[in-house]
Amino acid sequence: SQTIHQWPATLVQPVGSPLSLECTVEGTSNPNLYWYRQAAGRGLQLLFYSVGIGQISSEVPQNLSASRPQDRQFILSSKKLLLSDSGFYLCAWRDSPSYNSPLHFGNGTRLTVT
């Protein structure tokens, strides 16, 4: 069966520090991968998605970047965190190329920038 792992679960980082959140998927190949950010009362905002190794699409301009160095690995990064980067970050995957297949989410990382 397929599983998704996301870590760390919680993270407290000072403003200006770097960030690296990692997500890996097991039990499937060539998944579509997504990074979402959830802010209280604002639903989920799609940050990045990837349809293959090295292929990253950015949905909103921001202080973050994403990379996909391996088929089932998706990394969210920042060189210098801002206070506004605080939030709950969710990684998700879906079968490719089934547009009607649902997203499967990891348990999220709660990032607090101080």
Length of the chain in residues, anyone?
A: 114
Residue 45 buriedness (CB in 10 A; 0-12 / 13-18 / 19+): middle
Interatomic CA distance for residues 62 and 110, integer angstroms = 18
Q: What does the block give as tokens for 108?
A: 């999220």
Q: 110 - beta bridge partners?
A: 10, 88
3-state secondary structure of 40: coil
Q: Which of the ranges 13-21, 51-59, 62-70, 79-87 carries the binding residues for other proteins, by CB under 8 A?
A: 51-59
Q: Please, what is the minimum distance in Å from the beta carbon of residue 86 to other proteins?
A: 15
Site for other proteins (CB under 8 A): how many residues? 29
**If binding is defined by CB under 8 A, does position 107 make contact with other proteins?**
yes
Q: Binding pattern to other proteins, positions 27-46, x when CB under 8 A? A: -----x-x-x----xxxx-x
**If binding is defined by CB under 8 A, does position 103 make contact with other proteins?**
yes
- Determine which residue in the list 65, 71, 86, 105 makes contact with other proteins, applying CB under 8 A: 105
Interatomic CA distance for residues 106 and 113, integer angstroms = 21
Q: Please, what is the minimum distance in Å from the beta carbon of residue 4 to other proteins?
A: 8
Q: What does the block give as tokens for 110?
A: 């709660």
Binding stretches for other proteins (CB under 8 A): 6, 32, 34, 36, 41-44, 46, 49, 51, 57, 59, 90, 92, 94, 97-108, 110
